[in-house]
Structure 1
Amino acid sequence: MIKDTLKKLIIRDLEKLKLEIEAYQNEDKIWHIEKSILNSAGNLCLHLVGNLNTYIGAEFGNTGYVRNREDEFALKNVPRAELMGKVEGTILMIEKTFDLISDEQLNEKYPAEIILKDATTEYFFVHLAMHLGYHLGQINYHRRLLDN
């Protein structure tokens, strides 16, 4: 049951991420940083895609995804269309991978080394969904601030 809920919520928020990136009136603003705002919407988008593809896709879907976390924050001016493609690919990965995960796996310790020691897979997936929501809110605020 929680697996289906998490799948739906993560896909919902990834769809919202696409809408937020599309909604920027000026594509250049996706990459704008200023003063103490160190992460642009584009970098947060790359970070979210990298995070989910690493901890869900590579670990449970055997996608072969290899994360370059430094690039998630270092790359600049990736075209909006490319960002959208990465988010859409992540949605497809979530749709496929969650169907492969058993209830037993959710109750087991997350199989890879993570900062949350001894966390179950279910707990870590809830953490990932909340992490997505947190950064989605930052992107929404960033866009509204810059578009006005």
Structure 2
Amino acid sequence: MITESLQSLYTRDLNKLKLEIESYQNEESIWKTDKSISNSAGNLCLHLVGNLNHFIGSQLGNSGYIRNRELEFSLKNVPRAKLIEKVEDTLKAVTSTLDTLSSEDLKKDYPLEALGYTMTTEYFLIHLFGHLSYHLGQINYHRRLLDGE
């Protein structure tokens, strides 16, 4: 079933997100921006955590998570350990929610028109995985460009 594949991919990339944050040699570099790099790795990490907890944990898993999207981009200098804890908690929320979804659930319309149109839950879960991968790549590039300068 596709939920097993999605669970495997989300687990892989959320663990990779954790590894990227852990891999910064200088913790302060997590929050750097430079020239046309307007989002720090820390803010992208907070954004991914907020996004997945909202759209998967809260909307599909009824976790009660309340998102504050503005803070995802305005908070600064959250300790690395706290970011890692948030990623680990997000992984638990995502995997436990995916565990509850049946094939029939995936074929149902996602409860929100998050992209401005109706889509199946399966479609939106694939979209969210692409979103995670996109920002994960940005964080990796950010680390290689701005860490240790």
Q: TM-score, normalised by structure 2?
A: 0.96
For 1:32, the equivalent position in structure 2 comes to 32
Q: Secondary structure at the match of 1:99?
A: helix
For 1:10, the equivalent position in structure 2 comes to 10
Cα distance between partner residues in 2 of 1:86 and 1:123 = 25
- The C-alpha deviation readout for 1:74-109, integer Å capped at 9, x for no partner, is 000000000000000011111211111111110111
Q: Secondary structure at the match of 1:20?
A: helix
Cα distance between partner residues in 2 of 1:63 and 1:138 = 28
For 2:45, the equivalent position in structure 1 comes to 45
Question: What letter corresponds to residue 69 of structure 2 in structure 1?
Answer: R
Q: How does 1:61-72 map to 2 (within 5 A)?
A: 61-72=61-72
Decide whether the 8 Å contact of 1:54 with 1:66 is kept in 2.
yes
Identity of aligned residues (%): 63
- Paired residues in the alignment total 148
With 3-12 and 104-113 compared, the bigger mean Cα shift is at 104-113
Q: How does 1:39-118 map to 2 (within 5 A)?
A: 39-118=39-118
- Can you give the 5+ residue segments of structure 2 that lack an aligned partner in the other structure? none
- Can you give the 5+ residue segments of structure 1 that lack an aligned partner in the other structure? none
C-alpha root-mean-square deviation of aligned residues, in Å? Answer: 0.9
Cα distance between partner residues in 1 of 2:79 and 2:98 = 29
For 1:19, the equivalent position in structure 2 comes to 19
Q: How does 1:118-129 map to 2 (within 5 A)?
A: 118-129=118-129
Decide whether the 8 Å contact of 2:52 with 2:128 is kept in 1.
yes
